[in-house]
Structure 1
C-alpha cells in the first residue's frame, strides 16, 4: 500500500495524540478515579493504533494495543490505577514518542518494546500484584466472560456496554446497527474504513465493530463491516454521512429497540441467537469497543468535527514564501501611495486607497497565519518536570501562565531547547530537597513558574523558582578558578554582571556530574541560541528566596507598524507597539537632574534623550531649539522621551535584518526600504531604555 502521501498527516496527528495522552496521564495522577480522563486516553490510544496499523508501523500498533487493553480495563473498573501502572504507561508513551521521532528522521519506526509489552500484558492478566497484595484486576473472571461471549453469528454486548446504550437512549440518543460495504475496486479499503469511523465518531459513539478494529486497520476484512452505534442523529443523517465517504458502496442503518438489545445480551450469556439482527457477524471480544462519554459529548463531538473540517495543515515554507511576496508588495504599495500624492489624479488616488485597505486586511491575515500560541512549546514541559522531580526526589509545583501568548512560528521552533535547559537548571540547582526546604522554614513543595507575556514588540518568557537562589561568592570563586575573570574584576562586578557569568562557556557550579547537569555545558548554549534569535536573557536572584531567568524575544514578523521620524537628512522607524504618544517639549518644560535632562509627563518625570547625540547624527542638533517634537516610548514600567527633528507619520514597513556583520549595532533592530527607495534604520526602544 502506498502510504507516503499520508506520512506527514500521520506524524502530525501522532504527535498530537501522544501529547494529549501525556497531558491526560498527568491529570490522572492527581485524580486516579476520574474515568472521564481514562476515556479520553483510550480514544487517543485507539486512534493512534489504527493509524499505525494502516501505515504499516506494527511495533507502534502493537504497543498501543496493549496500552489500550490496560486503559479498557481501567475504564470498565476492572483495574485500579497505581504507581506501577502509571510508570509503565509513561514508559510506553516515551517509547512511542521515540518511534515516531525515528519515523520523522526517515527511519522505520521499529523498536524493541518487548519488555514494556510484557509488563502491560501482566497488568491486564492479573499476574502483576498491586501494593496491597491483591491482584491488580479486580474481577479477572469478568474479562474472560467478555472475551468469550462473542458468537459466530451475532455481536454480543456485555452488561457494561448494554448499560451505556440504555443510559444513552434514556437521555435522548438512539442505538443503531450499521452494515457498511466498500466498493470492490477500492485500493485502500482500510483507509476508507478509517474515514467512515472518523465520520461516525464526529456525530456519535461506536460501541463495537465486526470484524474487530485491529483486523479492519490491518486490512484483514472483505470490503464490509458492521457496527453497534449510538447517536442523536437520525437514520437519514447517518446514512448520508457515511455515503459521503469516497468509495463507500452502500450503508444499511437499522434502529435498535429494547428487544434487540435483550437479544444481544442473551447472545453474550448463552451464545448465538437465531433471530438476532446482526447475522453473520463475528466479534473478537477485546476489540474495538468505545465507551461513550456523557450523552452531551455527541453534540460536542459534532461541533468539534465541524470545526476540524474547516482547518488544513500548511507547510511553513509556503507561509515563508507568502510573507516574502507580500513584503515586496507592501514596498510597491507605499511607493504607489507616494506617487498618487504627487500626481494628484482623483481616479488614481481612489484606486490606491482601495488597494491600501485591501492590502491592510491581507496583511493582518498573513501575519496571523504565522503566529502560533506558545502553548505548543509549553505543553511538553509538565511531563518533563514531573519525571525530573521524581528522579531528584524533590516535590515541585509547576505553574504555567500565558500559554496563549502568540509568537512567530520561526521563534517557536527554536525556543524549546533553551527553555528545557533553564527548567532543568531551576529544578536541579534552584529548588532544594524536601529536608533542606523544611529546615529553612519553606513548604516542602517548591514552585517553578513558567510565564509568557507581550511587552511592546517583544515577547518575554520567565522561569522563576522559589529555591535557594544564586550565591554570588560561589560563582565568583568558580569563575576565578576557571580563569574566566580575575579576582579584582570580580570585586568590581555588580550582582547582575556576576549572574551573567553563568552563561560563560563551560561554566558549571555542579559538584557532582549527572545526567541532569554538571557536564561542563552550562548555560552558554541557552544564551547563544537566544542571541541568535535576536533576544537576550537576564537573571535576577535573591539568596535563599529564589531565581528568575527572563528571556526577551523579538516578534520577528516581517511586517510591523512604525512611526517614521526624521533627524536632519536621515529617516528612522520606531515600532508603534513601543510608543505611548507624541508631544512637543519647550525649554520651560524641562529640568536637569544629576546632569540629565528630564521631562514632566503625566505626574511623573522621565528622561529626555537626544537621538542625534545617541546615534551620532551629523547635520542636526536639538541644541537651541525653542520647541522640540518628542516620541515617548515605553519598556515595561519605564519610559523615555526621544527628541526628533520631524514626525513624518505612521507606516507599515517591511523588516529586513542587517546581516551577521552588523548584528550588534547599538539601538538598531533592523532596516526597511521606503517607498522612494531610501533605506531607514529601525530603532530598538528596549535597547535605548535600560
Structure 2
C-alpha cells in the first residue's frame, strides 16, 4: 500500500472517490427500480472503474480487487447478458459496504481489510452470462467494455486492458510478411531527437494484428471522408502522405469502438495503472501525439484557472468563532452608540453593523452543506429494511439541495435515520394489510427539507396506519407515566408525543429493528440539544407526519433578553411564541398548578425567577408582570419575567467547569451592555423544575 504517497494525491483520491461512493449507494437502489436504465448501468460501471483506478494508483490491492469484481458484474449487465434482480443487488450492495469500509480505513491511514473470499466468488459468479458458465476472464475477452470482434463495435470507453494491449502490440507488431521477430522498425527505435514515433506502416500492422488482416484497412474510413483519402482504399496514409489527420483517426476509432467513443476522453480519462512499466507513459503520449498532431494553434487552448481551494474545517470553525466575537463587539458598540448624540458615531456603528452582518453571512455560507449529505443514505436504509420486513416501500425525497451548517448536517444524521426506520417499521403496513384496506400494496415514505427564515424544516411523512391515541393512553397508564384520569385528559397531540418518553413503545413484539422503547427519547434529546423542536401529527388510516425545526447554524443564536431581578438571561427566540402583560391576580389553579387563560386557551404558568435567582423564593410578588409564552413541540407554557430587554443575537459560549451540567442552562454569552447572561435551555429547565 502506498499511503505514504504524496499527500496531495491521496487527498485527491479521498475527495473524488468519496463523492463517487456517496452517489453509488443511491444509484444502486435506483437501478433496482429501473433495471433497464442503460445510462444508470454505465454510470455505476464507471463509478466502480474510477475508484478501482485511483486505488490501483495508490496500490490499495484489496480495494482494487473488490471494485474490479463489482465492475465485471456491471459490464455483464450493461451488455444485457444478465438481468438485474434483488438477489444480485443484495450481493452488490454488500460489496459496496465493504468498499466503503475499506475507504474509511484508507481515510484513517490504515491498511484496508480485504473483502471476504465468499463475496468475491459470488461477484465473480454474477460476472458470468446467465447462459454461459465460462470463467470471468473469458467473459472479459468477449464482452468487455473495450473488446470488439471483427465487424463489431462497442458502445463503452476504451479500457485499461485494451490500452495495455495496444501498447504491447506497438512494441511487438510485425510488418506484413515478416516473422514474429521484431525488426528495427517495429521495435520503434528512437529518432534523432530521442523520441519514439509511430509510422503509418506500423499503425497498419498494429491494426492487422489486433483485428485480422484487412479488417480495418481504411475503406470504411474512406466512406466518411472521400475528399481526404488517397485513391488506394487500403492505405492509412492521408492524401498528403503525412501523418494521419484528426478526423481520419476519429473515424477509425469510431469503427473500432463505436460512434462517439473517441480517444480523447477515453485515453485522458483512463485511470492510471498501479505499476506502469518504464516507458509506457512516454509511449502513451506518443500515440496521443500521433492521433492528434499539433495542427490547431496552441493559443486557442486557454488555461483554465483553478476556482476552488481545500480548507481545513477547523480553520473555518476558528473564523466562525472570531466572527462571533466581532458580533459581541458590534452589540456593545451599538449599545454605546445609542447613548451617544454624536452623529458620526451613529453612522460608523451603522456601517459596522452592515459589514458584520454581511461577513457573518459569508462565513456561514462557507460552512454550509446540502442536506443531501444526509438524505443520500436513506434509499439504501429504506431498501434494506423493507426487504427484511417483507414490505414494499417507495421513498420520495424533496429539497435535497437545502443548505445548512455542516455541524448540523452531521448531528442530524442519526436522528433522521432512526425516524425513517421508525416510519418503515411502525408506520407503513404489510402489503396484504394495505391491500385489504384499499391502499396500494407499496407504501410511501416522503422525506423533505426546506428553509423557513433562519430555520430549516425537515419532515418525515408516511401513508401508513397512523397512530391510535387511545392505544397510546392505555400504554401510558400501563407504564405508570399517567394515572387513568390524567391520561383521559390528554389531547390527541399530547398522546402522539408520548412516543418520545423513555422506554415507551407500542410494539407488541421486540425485533432487531424496534420494540424496546429506546431511540425516540434519544431523538428528542438530540433535537433539543440542537435548539430545535420536533412535533408529530397523525391520523388513523392516513399516516403520520413528523416535523423537525432546527436553526440554520449553531454558532450564533437570536434570543430574547430578559431580566430576573438584577440578572440577565437569554431565551432562544425559536422557543418564544408571544409576549404580553398580565394581571397576576387573575390566575387560576388547575390540578394544583397555576394557570392563565388567554383567548380561551389554558397555559401553565411558571415563575422561573424562583428557580434561577437565589433568594427569590418568599419575596412578595408584584400584581403585574410580563409573561413570555414558550413552546416545546406541541406543549406551550408561560414564563413570568421581571423585565424585557429586547431581541439580540448572541454567541453561545460553553459554561465553565464549575457550572457544567447546570439544569436548564445551555451556555452563556456577553450582552451588549458588557454583562454575562446565561442562555436558558427551555426543555431541560421544565424537565428539571416543572
TM-score band, normalised by the shorter chain? 0.5 to 0.7
| 8 A contact 1:126–1:140 mirrored in 2 | no
- Seen in structure 2, the aligned counterparts of structure 1 residues 508 and 563 have a Cα distance that, compared at 3 Å, is closer
Residue 443, structure 1, aligned to residue 500, structure 2 = no
Task: Tell me the residue number matched to 2:670.
Answer: 673
Instruction: Indicate how the Cα distance of structure 1 residues 530 and 220 shifts in structure 2: closer, same or farther if over 3 A, else same.
Output: farther
Helix, strand or coil at the partner of 2:104: helix
What is the CA-CA distance between 1:433 and the residue it aligns to? Answer: 0.9
Match of 2:273 among 194, 212, 216: 216
After TM superposition, list the pairs within 5 Å mapping 1:249-328 onto structure 2.
Answer: 309-328=306-325
Pairing partner for 2:406 from 383, 388, 409: 409
Query: What's the secondary structure of 1:541's corresponding residue?
Result: strand
Between 1:151-160 and 1:100-109, the stretch displaced more is 151-160
Query: Greater share of strand residues, 1 or 2?
Result: 1
| 1:106-154 residue CA offsets vs partner (Å, 9 max, x unmatched) | 5321223433333333344426679xxxx99998599573888955125
The answer for the alignment partner of 2:54 in structure 1 is 51
Post-superposition offset of 1:92: 2.3
Cα deviation 1:239-261 (Å, max 9, x = unaligned): 968xx7xxxxxxxxxxxxxxxxx
Distance 1:87 1:394 in 2: 16
Secondary structure of the structure 1 residue equivalent to 2:112: coil
CA separation of 1:334 and 1:538: change in aligned 2, threshold 3 A? closer
Aligned residue in 2 for 1:277 = none
Aligned residues: 571
**Partner residue, 1:86:** 89
State how far apart, in whole Å, the 2-side matches of 1:238 and 1:73 are. 44
Aligned Cα root-mean-square deviation (Å):
5.4
Q: Relative to structure 2, which stretch is displaced further, 39-48 or 147-156?
A: 147-156
Match of 1:3 among 5, 15, 37: 5
2:526 to 529, 539, 547: 529
Contact 2:493 2:634 (8 Å CA) reproduced: no
Cα shift at 1:530? 3.0
Distance 2:516 2:646 in 1: 53
Give how far 1:55 is off: 2.3
Ranges in structure 1 where 5+ consecutive residues have no aligned partner: 179-203, 245-304, 599-604
Shift of 1:632: 11
In structure 2, what is the equivalent of residue 333 of structure 1? 330
Distance 2:363 2:461 in 1: 34
* Cα shift at 1:424: 1.5
Name the counterpart of 1:98.
Answer: 101
Q: Counterpart of 1:399 in 2: which secondary structure?
A: strand
Match of 1:548 among 545, 548, 554: 545
Cα drift, residue 68 of structure 1:
2.7
Whole-angstrom distance in 1 between the partners of 2:635 and 2:427: 29
Alignment of 1:423-442 (within 5 A): 423-442=420-439
**Distance verdict in 2 for CA 1:531–1:9, change over 3 Å:** farther
Q: Compared with structure 1, are the counterparts of its residues 176 and 382 closer, same or farther at alpha carbon in structure 2 (3 Å cutoff)?
A: farther
Taking structure 1 as the reference length, the TM-score comes to 0.66
Instruction: Give how far 1:364 is off.
Output: 1.2
Q: Structure 1 residue 385: deviation in Å?
A: 0.6
Answer yes or no: is the 8 Å Cα contact 2:561–2:644 preserved in 1: yes
**C-alpha separation between the residues in 1 aligned to 2:56 and 2:558?**
50
- In 2, Cα distance between equivalents of 1:215 and 1:319: 34
Q: Report the Cα distance in structure 2 between the residues aligned to 1:489 and 1:369, rounded to whole angstroms.
A: 53
Change in CA separation of 1:622 and 1:217 when aligned onto 2, cut-off 3 Å: farther
How far apart, CA to CA, are the structure 2 residues paired with 1:687 and 1:540? 23
The answer to whether the 8 A contact 1:78-1:137 is kept is no
Kept in 2, the 8 Å contact 1:606–1:641? The answer is no
CA, structure 1 residues 434+175, in 2 after alignment: closer, same or farther (shift >3 Å)?
farther
Q: Which moved more, 1:56-65 or 1:121-130?
A: 121-130
**Cα deviation digits, residues 589-628 of structure 1 (max 9, x gap):** xxx9x99676xxxxxx798999997767999999689xx9
- 1:374 is aligned to 2:368: no
Kindly state the Cα deviation for residue 386 of structure 1 after the two structures are TM-superposed.
Answer: 1.5
Q: Report deviation, 1:322.
A: 1.6
C-alpha contact 2:606 2:638 (8 A) present in aligned 1: no
Q: Answer yes or no: is 1:361 the counterpart of 2:358.
A: yes
Matched, 1:29 2:32: yes
User: How far is the alpha carbon of 1:377 from its aligned partner?
Assistant: 0.5
**Which stretches in structure 2 are left out of the alignment for 5+ residues?**
155-160, 171-202, 226-244, 251-261
Aligned to 2:177: none
Distance 2:341 2:620 in 1: 32
Conserved 8 A contact 2:477-2:487: no
Alpha carbons of 1:219 and 1:511: their partners in 2 closer, same or farther (altered >3 Å)? farther
CA distance in 2 between partners of 1:236 and 1:23 (Å): 43
Q: What's the counterpart of residue 115 of structure 2?
A: 112
Structure 2 CA distance for partners of 1:597 and 1:478, relative to 1, 3 Å:
closer
Cα deviation code 1:474-519 (max 9, x no counterpart): 55666666x5547647744624454444344444444444432345
Question: In structure 2, how many angstroms separate the alpha carbons of the residues matched to 1:349 and 1:576?
Answer: 27
**Alpha-carbon displacement from aligned partner over 1:236-289 (angstroms, at most 9, x marks no partner):** 569968xx7xxxxxxxxxxxxxxxxxxxxxxxxxxxxxxxxxxxxxxxxxxxxx
Larger mean CA deviation between 136-145 and 423-432 belongs to: 136-145
Residue 421 of structure 1: aligned partner? 418
Q: Provide Cα deviations, 1:416-444, integer angstroms capped at 9, x if missing partner.
A: 11221221122122211111111122221
| Structure 2 residue matching 1:90: 3-state secondary structure | helix
Quote the Cα distance in structure 2 between the aligned partners of 1:58 and 1:572: 59
Distance 1:136 1:530 in 2: 53
Q: C-alpha separation between the residues in 2 aligned to 1:417 and 1:352?
A: 43
Deviation at 1:643, TM superposition (A): 11
Residues 456, 577 of structure 1: 8 Å contact kept: no
